[in-house]
Amino acid sequence: MAPKKNTRPIRTRNGIPLTRDEYRQLKRQKEREDRRKRQEAWEAARGPLDMPFLLLAMMLLGIGLIMLLSASFPNAQASANLGNDPLYFIKRQAVFAALGVGLMLWVSKINYERFRGLARLGLWMSLILLFLVIIPGPKANGRLLAISANGAARWLGIPNTSLTIQPSDLAKLGLIVFFAESISKKREKMKDLKEGFLYHIGILLVMVVMTAVEPHFSGAILIAGIGAAMLVVGGIHWGWIAAGVSAVGLGTYLLAFTDVIENFFKAINYNASRIAVWKDPFGGDLEFRRDAAWQTIQGLYAIGSGGLLGVGLGKSRQKFGYLPEAQNDYIFAVVLEELGLVGGTLIMVLFSLLIIRGFWLAIHARDRFGSLLIVGVTTQIALQTFLNIAVVTNLIPSTGISLPFFSSGGTALVIQLVEVGVVLSVSRQIPAPKAR
């Protein structure tokens, strides 16, 4: 005699009663579907890395470490606080570079779709860290938790270590992942004023204002530029794009041909002399040239000394006590002095190829989320590189912005390499040319 089927309803599916046997069958079907999806995701993430992008990034990292060694050893050797160790900066940077490369390779093996689940968490962590930096307090810098360096309070210390993190660096990555997830999800609503524009602009303005309050205007400019680029690619209404372009044009006019922005900086007690230095670094009295304009002038001397072919690797003269912090924002001046216009141009070509390859990968990404991730990372590298070189050559006022892969800074370097890993993760799922 055949066993009796259990026909008692125990579950419902869309309001329809299911027997125990039907429920078990449905459960097994769902488990098979989940295994299939996990297998597909695993196989997709096993695709080949984009070697051109990887090789370009590693070439820039290698050249950057060499130039950092050359630019940093005089300052390190002259500093008693650093133990008069000429290798202090390069040893520290090499450790972070090794850590960053390891994280880059690890991230590149992750299916980038998993980053969707980290979008909101990353955004909230970024906002919390930015808030912690600007909390007022009894310290000499007027902050409760922030650590000062070179006259700016932009860092948070890691407990029980001498390490620091710069929240604005983490905020860039947090913004990229969140905007990529949100814009891809709201694809059909991006032209809507409330859901598409105001929602994202509101979040972007909060991050920009919090960064500017530190004050860290270069970081605020970068965050604004990254967000704007992703919104444009995301498909916001052309009218808002035109308004943004007009605002940038107006700001450029006010900066170059009026005193409005300079007076604004004076009103908020921020370093307004940077604009005066930009307009005429060799003007003013001797005190002006020895104080406010000193770094800019010495950077221009370094560039001029390099000429076409440079004075030779390691033979810079300006880094010996003349060019302040040569290992940081003005490292490209040392590059041009030692390698000349030819060497500097070759490095700019490498950056250009990396940026072009990044946008090529964005165009060919498997989906909108992956494309936006690459757009955000590539835009950050492009903007940061352009702004740094423009500052060093005095095309724009000094903003205190570092050169990717070159400038000293552990947190920034690690995050840059993690972002390269994100791009490589997306590249794994780009179909081969024959398959498209």
pLDDT tens sequence across 44-54: 667 889 999 99
pLDDT the model gives residue 436: 46
pLDDT tens sequence across 71-124: 999 999 988 888 889 999 999 999 999 999 999 999 999 999 999 999 999 999
- Quick one: pLDDT band at residue 409, thresholds 50, 70, 90? confident
Higher pLDDT, 61 or 84: 61
Among residues of the chain, what percentage have pLDDT more than 70? Answer: 89
Whether the upstream peptide bond of residue 281 has omega within 30° of 0, thus cis, is: no
Give dist(CA 151, CA 148) in Å, integer: 6
pLDDT tens sequence across 187-244: 888 888 888 889 999 999 999 999 988 878 888 999 999 999 999 999 888 888 888 8
- Quick one: pLDDT band at residue 431, thresholds 50, 70, 90? confident
pLDDT tens sequence across 322-336: 998 899 999 999 999
Kindly give the interhelix angle for 294-306 and 331-363, rounded to the nearest 10 degrees: 80
Q: Which of 428, 430, 423 is nearest to 364 (CA)?
A: 430
- Tell the residue number behind the tokens 């969140």, with chain if given: 178
pLDDT the model gives residue 268: 62
Compute the half-sphere exposure of residue 179: CA atoms within 13 Å on the CB side of its CA: 34
Q: Give CA angle at 274 (320, 244), nearest 5°.
A: 125
Instruction: Give the torsion through C-alpha atoms of 387, 391, 393, 397, to 10 deg.
Output: 130
- Quick one: pLDDT band at residue 435, thresholds 50, 70, 90? very low
Helical residues (DSSP H) of 235-330, grouped into ranges: 238-257, 260-267, 273-279, 286-290, 294-306
pTM of the model: 0.87
Residue 136 bridge partners (DSSP): 143
pLDDT the model gives residue 86: 92
pLDDT the model gives residue 41: 62
pLDDT the model gives residue 266: 67
